[in-house]
Amino acid sequence: MGNPNDDLSRRKFVTRSLGCLAAASVAPGLSLADSSSTDPDKAATVPVMRKLGRTDIELPLVNAGAGAGMDPGLVIEAVDRGMRLFDTDARYQNGRHEQLLGSIFSKMGVRDKVVIMTKVHTPEQRAGLSPERSKALLYKTLEGCLRRLRTDRVDILLVHDVSSPGPIHDPAIMEAMSRIKAEGKARYIGTATHTNMAVAINATVAAEIYDVVFTAVNFTMADDTALMGAIENAAQKGVGVIAMKTQAGGYAFPNPATHREFSNELINSAALKWACHNENIATSVPGFANYDHLRANWAVALNPEYTEEEKRFLSDNRIKLGMEFCRQCRRCVASCPHKADVPTMMRTHMYVRQYADFGLARQTYDSIASDRGLTACESCGECTAQCAHSVNIRRKIEELKLVYG
């Protein structure tokens, strides 16, 4: 999958989508309309749908990432257009993102039509809290999520930011997550990973209690056979795979050379389509900072077929490297004499430079010391030569310092 030359026709997508749409719930008055149509010629108004693993949830190929930020109008338009899965997190905007979604869904009367996915962090548990304290903290965090989201249950609850089997298989976390599901406070449970994804996905599947895995994946990782294999394994075992970071940081790309041949719009749609073409990925939640981004993303849900130019972009390896997307592989960490958390700094850079989400960036930057016991960078430059994925670490860190001093 992911080969731009695949002739994955619109008709094939549509045929699959129409079967799913029959079972999809549609809010009265919402524009996921036309779902009664079985005429492929009217396909442009119908999103392609896929089932989320073994859950009973069916979703459009493209949904709403938390990058929608704090603009209520964007969330409303996303619902109106037909996006159904909304990604959030107990920590985003210090809980205000959950509050925003809860308020809008309640006012629109669409709580039963949307799928809310939120995430809880467990760094305290990982730092060695007693199992009882760990579980109590997780329940308390979830209670806060439910209150802010104005609901008595979330649809998907994820343990966020896992990169190794440790926290995924932690008995206290597994027990708490299982109990939350059994009590109906989360319909489905899972994990979220943007570091060491192949290992985290395989561990999630092996745990056998998780229904969903939310992973970073995009076209710059097409040659990562371990990751592609893990995604396939998850899908085969019925664990629903949801993609994030589909546009390798998205909308504003840090390397100007990339733009000499291809526009931002083309890069974004080609990248999103690449994720959609992998049938092991049930859906994606790209963020959008404005209405143009939202509409462009939704257009992919309606028609994921590649244009000739998009195929040309995706088959250009030089451009792929020029994206300078940090895969969070953490190989550079060992080379740093100061034990700096370079990958987290690269993610912070992406949030500042590409998402323009300064709140998320600050939170991520601040997590360097508290979550991992690692330090910030001393600018010695040792690491740049160590990146196998052509990320200009030093330049990005210098840019970050302009923001954080």
Which segments within 127-201 are labelled E, that is strand?
A: 154-159, 186-193
Structural Rg of the chain based on CA atoms? 20
Site for ligand SF4 in 373-402 (CB under 6 A): 387, 389, 391, 393
For residue 61, report the phi and psi dihedrals to the nearest 5 degrees: -60, -30
Per the CB < 8 A criterion, the answer to whether 170 and 191 are in contact is no
CB 301 → ligand SF4: shortest distance, Å?
A: 29
Note whether 18 and 38 are within 8 A (CB).
Answer: yes
Q: How far is the CB of 369 from ligand SF4 (least distance, A)?
A: 18
CA–CA dist 141, 137 (Å, integer): 6
Query: Cβ of residue 351: shortest distance to ligand SF4, in angstroms?
Result: 14
For ligand SF4, give the closer residue by CB, 275 or 326. Answer: 326
Element (H, E) at 182: helix 171-182
Task: Count CA atoms within 13 Å of residue 192 on its CB side.
Answer: 20
- Indicate the residue among 38 and 375 with the shorter CB distance to ligand SF4: 375
Residues 198-237 that bind ligand SF4 (CB under 6 A): none
Question: Distance between CA 112 and CA 368 in Å, rounded?
Answer: 37
The count of residues interacting with ligand SF4 (CB under 6 A) is: 14
State the nearest-atom distance from the C-beta of 110 to ligand SF4, in Å. 39
Q: How far is the CB of 349 from ligand SF4 (least distance, A)?
A: 10
Complex with ligand SF4: residue 264 or 392, whichever CB lies closer: 392
- Residue (23 or 385) nearer to ligand SF4, CB: 385
Q: Which of 239, 180, 163 is nearest to 207 (CA)?
A: 239
* Beta strands at 115-120 and 85-87: parallel, antiparallel or unpaired: parallel
In whole angstroms, how far apart are CA 220 and each of 125, 316, 319, 327, 398? 33, 11, 9, 8, 24
Is 223 in a helix, a strand, or coil?
coil
Q: How far is the CB of 255 from ligand SF4 (least distance, A)?
A: 14
Q: What is the DSSP string of 282-322?
A: -EE----SSHHHHHHHHHHHH--PPPHHHHHHHT-HHHHHH
Return the number of the residue (52 or 346) whose C-beta is nearest ligand SF4: 346
Site string for ligand SF4, 62-101 (x = CB under 6 A): ----------------------------------------
**Structure tokens, 176:** 């708490």
284 within 8 A of 243, measured Cβ to Cβ? yes
Name the residue nearer to ligand SF4 (CB basis): 58 or 341: 341
Handedness of CA 21, 6, 241, 216 (dihedral sign): negative
State which residue, 219 or 306, has the beta carbon closest to ligand SF4. Answer: 219
State which of positions 295-354 bind ligand SF4 (CB under 6 A): 326-332, 342-343, 346
Q: How far is the CB of 79 from ligand SF4 (least distance, A)?
A: 35
Of 115 and 198, CB closest to ligand SF4: 198
Nearest approach, Cβ of 333 to ligand SF4 (angstroms)? 7
The distance of closest approach from Cβ of residue 384 to ligand SF4 in the complex, given in angstroms and rounded to an integer, is 8
Q: Which is nearer to ligand SF4, 134 or 328 (CB)?
A: 328
CA 225/CA 228 separation, integer angstroms = 5
Encoded one letter per residue, x for contact with ligand SF4 by CB under 6 A and - for no contact, window 96-135 reads ----------------------------------------
Q: Which residues bind ligand SF4 (CB under 6 A)?
A: 326-332, 342-343, 346, 387, 389, 391, 393
